[in-house]
Amino acid sequence: MRTIAVVIEYDGTDFAGFQVQRGKRTVQAELCRAVQRITKESVPVIGASRTDAGAHATGQVVHFRTTCRIPVERVPAALNSVLPRDIAARRAWEADDSFHARYSARSRVYRYTIWNHPVRSALMERYAYRVSQPLDVEAMQEATKYLLGKHDFAAFASEAGRYRNTVREVYRAELQPRLPLVWLRIEANGFLQGMVRAIMGTLIEVGLGKRAPDTMEHLLQGSAKGCALFHVPAHGLCLVRVNYDESTIRRSERTGG
């Protein structure tokens, strides 16, 4: 039995999210079908992150276990030959048996894209949220600094009550303007459902002068669940990377194989 890990890219526009849902088109369901076709085995495909409906990925990681002997370097091409056009396998490696795409992850990196322009863009419409009014980017950058470190993000969760613990640690948070584009890039040890979209919504309110930058600090106290009421749409969100400890994920590094 082998454990194969694959980096996956997808356009989430026409999916009901990553996770399998009865009667709906999902990324996970398409991957399971593709893996079954190339391995001739019906096996589960596990993802590192359950991205929302409409959200995209350039660095999602999945794993599956198989007895198929297909060389790992041929796995991406084999998958891409049977996957739909809005999903692509970018690279693959043979992982240690203990590897788990979700639970072995050390951190995840998301990017949210804003198109800050009064006129919509035909090319960016699927991948960026348009804000027509000018944004105060400096105020937004000031608010972003409060995100760093370990905080209670209950105010930014879509359903905070479903979590036993809403504390997460943000390792990096940067607001990068290249007008008319503005990006939020955030890395953390974990994310609550809707967390990045609520953070971005709050930053936009700061950029529009509706909130002061230090509002972010107040919301991170964890006392007011769901107070970040403005959740931006999912189509501007992209999972760009999942980080692992390299010394523990590759079979060759542990066995010499």
> Among 14, 52, 214, 245, which one carries the catalytic annotation?
52
Q: What is the pLDDT of residues 101-147, one digit of tens each?
A: 999 999 999 999 999 999 999 999 999 999 999 999 999 999 999 99
Q: CB-based burial of residue 256 (10 Å sphere; 0-12 exposed, 13-18 middle, 19+ buried)?
A: exposed
pLDDT at 76: 98
pLDDT at 5: 96
Q: What is the pLDDT of residues 196-229, one digit of tens each?
A: 999 999 999 999 999 999 999 989 986 555 466 7
2-104 shares its CATH topology with 107-240? yes
Q: What is the pLDDT of residues 227-255, one digit of tens each?
A: 667 889 999 999 999 999 876 566 543 33
Class of domain 107-240: alpha beta
Round to whole Å and give the CA distance between 233 and 14: 14
Round to whole Å and give the CA distance between 29 and 26: 5
Domain chopping of the chain, boundaries: 2-104, 107-240
Q: Active site includes 97?
A: no
**Secondary structure percentages of the chain, helix, strand, coil, to 5:** 30, 30, 40
Q: Show the tokens assigned to 208.
A: 């529009």
pLDDT at 255: 33
Round to whole Å and give the CA distance between 43 and 95: 16
Check: CATH 2.50.20.10 for 2-104?
Answer: no
Q: What is the pLDDT of residues 62-106, one digit of tens each?
A: 999 999 999 999 999 999 999 999 999 999 999 999 999 999 999
Round to whole Å and give the CA distance between 151 and 170: 8
- Determine the 3-state secondary structure of 191 from DSSP: coil
Residue closest to 114 by CA, chosen among 204, 24, 8, 27? 204
